[in-house]
Amino acid sequence: MPDDVHDASPTHVVTCFPLRHTPDGDEILLVRRSQRVRTYRGAWAGVSGYVEPGVTPLDQAYTEIFEEVGLDRAAVHLMRVGEPVSFHDDELAQSWVVHPFLFALAPGAEPRTDWEATEHRWVHPREIGQFQTVPRLAEALARVYPAPDAPNQPDAQGAADG
């Protein structure tokens, strides 16, 4: 099968945002992609990965969180599933469908990165624009973590308490 046939259909990926509550406000976990991953090397991202055939995006999200940052299902609680973000990257000649998820981190749980990331940082959601990120990361985050002043949107703190 020619390569261009494969490129015509979008690639589905998950992007997970582990969240923790601190006295200074909510923080999300970002990871810096290593030079050993296929795309967007060196860019900051959520915990992410390709959706495997026959696997739901949610199940893939739990798999990626476990594989990439060592957090099992007991260490995270699903807070919100966002509408997918679709876009085409002309430079890679690749279309993507990003399935965003927000997870609350259980008290005492600590992430540890694997080979796919060179480092990780906890950042306030409003600071995401200060990082060189994978394409559309801020948009994916906005689908699961609206800005506190966004009209008619429940805040993630309320969702975490409920």
d(CA 42, CA 77): 28
pLDDT tens digits along 63-88: 999 999 999 999 999 999 999 999 99
11 strand-pairing partners: 96
- At residue 6, the pLDDT reads 44
**Cβ contact 9:95 at 8 Å:** yes
pTM value is 0.85
CB atoms within 10 A of CB 58: 14
Burial, 15: exposed, middle or buried (Cβ in 10 Å; 0-12, 13-18, 19+)?
buried
Q: Write out the chain's pLDDT in tens, 162 residues.
A: 344 434 569 999 999 999 999 999 999 999 999 999 999 999 999 999 999 999 999 999 999 999 999 999 999 999 999 999 999 999 999 999 999 999 999 999 999 999 999 999 999 999 999 999 999 999 999 999 975 544 443 333 334 333
Burial, 11: exposed, middle or buried (Cβ in 10 Å; 0-12, 13-18, 19+)?
middle
Q: How far is CA 66 from CA 55, 72, 111, 132, 134, in A?
A: 15, 5, 9, 24, 21
- Give the domain 7-149 fold: Nucleoside Triphosphate Pyrophosphohydrolase (3.90.79)
Radius of gyration of the CA atoms of the chain, in A: 16
- At residue 146, the pLDDT reads 74
